[in-house]
Amino acid sequence: MTQRVARSTAAPINRWQVAVSGVVMQVILGTVYAWSVFKTPIMKELGWSNTEVGLAFTLVILFIGLSAAFGGRFVDQAGARKVATIAALLFGAGTLLAGLALVLESKWLLWLGYGIIGGIGNGLGYITPVAVLVRWFPDKRGFITGLAVMGFGFGAAIMGQIAPLVMPALGLANTFFAFGVLFLLVLLWASRNLENPPAGWQAPAPAKPAAKANPVGRALDLSAALGTAQFYILWAIMFINITAGISLISNLSPMAQAQVGLTAVTAGTLVFITSIFNGLGRIFWAALSDRIGRRTVFIILLASQIPLLIALPGVGSPVLFAVICCYILSCYGGGFATMPAFAADTFGTASMGSIYGKILLAWGAAGVVGPMLMEFVQNRTGAFSTALYIGAGLLAVGLLLALAYRPPAPAR
């Protein structure tokens, strides 16, 4: 059912226009995960170290998490369109400053521009479509948030294919200038349609099966949500699922080369394929959660990964190795996509930006813990197997938490 409502300007808006704009914004923002394609060219052209260039990516991920966590309340208070516009300006400016940093050969400007300014813009942009779309689509919360964050997953895959073709033609700095202008224009266009439903707007009633699968809890603000056990259960489940997945993502190529004998090129192809499954898993698992429930989906995600992580170090077949990695990465993406709807069902949508922003702190924490765990164990043992076993143990804890979860009392 298509819903049209009036903007403040009285121009009609279709809720699917909002959805398309949200997906487009997420695709652009997801390009940050393709930073590795720029890393070696920057090191070769400017003579910077791996650590110096990598710090730009570390900073952007850090500030994505921080700005999403603490900027979510602005979506609730200032309005989604304003926040999306600010996000567009900051992320576009950050990309342009990265190009200027390469021209000036300034590492500090790269860290400030792309890492901090771009990261803040990216985090504000990430939380905005998620917070808005659960309000427009109460009847399809899982599907619509899965669709939105699927865009973020695909952004890296798309950029990873396009950037290597553009850099030889334009040069390194000009590539960032070109993408900066493109990102700015597209994000500003997308921001025009990212608005919350106006007061009094009546959404379609959720289908009965979805309502039974996903009972809606009390409408809580951030302070009240932080006083519930459910908030910390959701945070911990999010942290654990991301830690397990990002541990594999951060070392997938060297693992594939060392364990099953893939070449660097073939391992790169595997990384691309698993990125596709990361994106597809976001919409598959989130849409499934509309039918069977968010808790049930997380139980499946967590339980099914445990034996796979335990078995993965002993796999010698490249095909089986790839299949297992694709599935684990689909679960990683599925957790990202299902959690916004889980949070909306638990706490309501009135303070979605504030509440889900705080849950996203689990992303930033897992982004540090997962890769560091893999590096520490690999340096100590010379293999990744122990880290994967630890990941399986964490998933078992997450499974117990998912089994223990009970929704709050239904809204009256």
Q: Exposure of 400 by Cβ count < 10 A (0-12 exposed, 13-18 middle, 19+ buried)? A: exposed
Confidence band for 111, pLDDT divided at 50, 70 and 90: very high
% of the chain residues with pLDDT over 70: 90
Pair 396, 301: CB distance under 8 Å: no
Mean pLDDT taken over the chain: 84
CATH of 212-404, one of 1.10.10.10, 1.10.287.130, 1.20.1250.20, 3.30.420.40: 1.20.1250.20
- Choice between 31 and 177, residue whose per-residue pLDDT is larger: 177
Q: Which residues, 6+ apart, have CB-to-CB distance to 353 below 8 Å? A: 71, 72, 73, 74, 75, 76, 127, 128, 131
Six-digit token pair at 398? 């997450």
Residue 95 has pLDDT above 50, yes or no: yes
Among 159-173, 243-257, 315-329, 391-405, name the one with the lowest average pLDDT. 243-257
> Residue 13 — φ and ψ, nearest 5°?
-135, 135
Query: Per the CATH hierarchy, to which homologous superfamily does domain 8-191 belong?
Result: MFS general substrate transporter like domains (1.20.1250.20)
Mean pLDDT of 65-88: 82
> pLDDT (tens digit, 9 = 90+) per residue, 330-365?
999 899 889 988 998 898 877 777 888 888 888 778
- Assign 3-state DSSP to the chain and report helix, strand, coil percentages, each to 5: 80, 0, 15
Residue 252 has pLDDT above 70, yes or no: yes
> pLDDT (tens digit, 9 = 90+) per residue, 112-139?
999 999 999 999 998 888 888 877 787 7
N-terminal to C-terminal alpha carbon distance within the chain: 26
Query: What CA–CA distance (Å, rounded) separates 92 from 173?
Result: 14
Residues facing 4 on adjacent strands: 14
How would DSSP label each residue in 62-102?
HHHHHHHHHHHHHHHHT-HHHHHHHHHHHHHHHHHHHHHHH
Among 60-69, 160-169, 378-387, name the one with the lowest average pLDDT. 378-387
Nearest Cα neighbor of 218 from 237, 231, 235 is: 231
Dihedral sign, Cα of residue 196, residue 198, residue 204, residue 208: positive
Task: Please state the domain extents for the chain.
Answer: 8-191, 212-404
Pair 281, 332: CB distance under 8 Å: yes
Mean pLDDT of 322-328: 94
Confidence band for 216, pLDDT divided at 50, 70 and 90: low
Residue with tokens 């490249």: 318
Confidence band for 378, pLDDT divided at 50, 70 and 90: confident
Helix/strand/coil (H, E, C) string of 9-31?
Answer: CCCEEEHHHHHHHHHHHHHHHHH
- The neighbour count for residue 373, using CB atoms within 10 Å, is 22
Pair 260, 321: CB distance under 8 Å: yes
In terms of average pLDDT, the best of 256-265, 310-319, 344-353 is 310-319
HSE of 20 in the Cβ direction (CA atoms, 13 Å)? 9
Residue 215 has pLDDT above 70, yes or no: no
% of the chain residues with pLDDT over 90: 34
Confidence band for 10, pLDDT divided at 50, 70 and 90: very low
Is there a common fold for 8-191 and 212-404?
yes
